[in-house]
Amino acid sequence: MSTAWKNWHLSKEGTVEPEVNGLDRLFSGTNAKKILDIGCGAGRHVVYFARKGFEVYGFDGDEETLERAKKLLENENLRADLRVWDMTKQLPYRDAFFDAVLAVRVIHHTRLSNITAIMNEINRLLKTDGFLFLQVPSYESETFDSGTIWAEPGTLIARGGSEKGVPHHFFRKDELLGFFSSYTVIELHSKSDHYVGYCLIAQKGKR
């Protein structure tokens, strides 16, 4: 994880995305219990749902940042199953194990082939009628300079700064929804005050 992203995670400590404030009520109303936070960082959403009494799981690729999440949980005598893991590898959980999966501003940081595999893993891990919350960058909401070099359709590689060499995939609306064609969209918006990108809340349907 880049220094910029570590600092970003730390700056968000104690806050959650506005949509998350309503998710706990949605989950509780449907008896959802087990939640996975993909790329949980310093644990802001892990701590939030642990406080609410959910059984929370999370992983991140950066051990140092994950240790901060563990410390926050320990300070409040809360528990969660956290581990260091690479999201591009098969995830270490059983099929249909989770009632809900969160992936907030994380899965776009890789190539499209890996993103496709991650989306398939999410679908594998979610129970039927389980919930998904995603935040990903929107291609339609971005302005790209004329000198931008694309690594593949929709994906550019940062050429400088603290994220030099890091892939960034920008989703088109139909592309994003195409990954979850069997899901019911509960909410989909972009260009909100807190994030210029797609915020998707959906429920897995029966195939």
Buried/exposed 36-60: b ≥16 CB within 10 Å, e otherwise: bbbbbbbbbbbbbbbeeebbbbbbb
How many angstroms separate the CA atoms of 17 and 10, rounded? 14
Tell me how long the chain is: 207
Looking at the 3D structure of the chain, how many domains does it have?
1
pLDDT at 153: 92
Render each residue's pLDDT in the chain as its tens digit; 207 residues: 545 455 545 555 668 999 998 898 999 889 899 999 999 999 999 999 999 999 999 999 999 999 999 999 999 999 999 999 999 999 999 999 999 999 999 999 999 999 999 999 999 999 999 999 999 999 988 888 777 789 999 999 888 777 888 899 999 999 999 999 999 999 999 877 788 899 999 999 965
Instruction: Return d(Cα 90, Cα 186) in angstroms, integer.
Output: 27
Per-residue pLDDT, 11 = 52
CATH number at residue 12: 3.40.50.150
Supply the pLDDT for residue 206. Answer: 66
Euclidean distance between CA atoms 50 and 112, whole angstroms = 32
Domain span at 130: 3-204
The DSSP code sequence of the chain is --HHHHHHHHHTTT---TTHHHHHHHHHHTT--EEEEET-TT-HHHHHHHHTT-EEEEEES-HHHHHHHHHHHHHTT---EEEE--TTSPPSS-TT-EEEEEEES-TTSS-HHHHHHHHHHHHHHEEEEEEEEEEE-BTTT----TT--EEETTEEE--SGGGTT-EEE-B-HHHHHHTTTTEEEEEEE-S-SS-SSEEEEEEE---
pTM of the model: 0.91
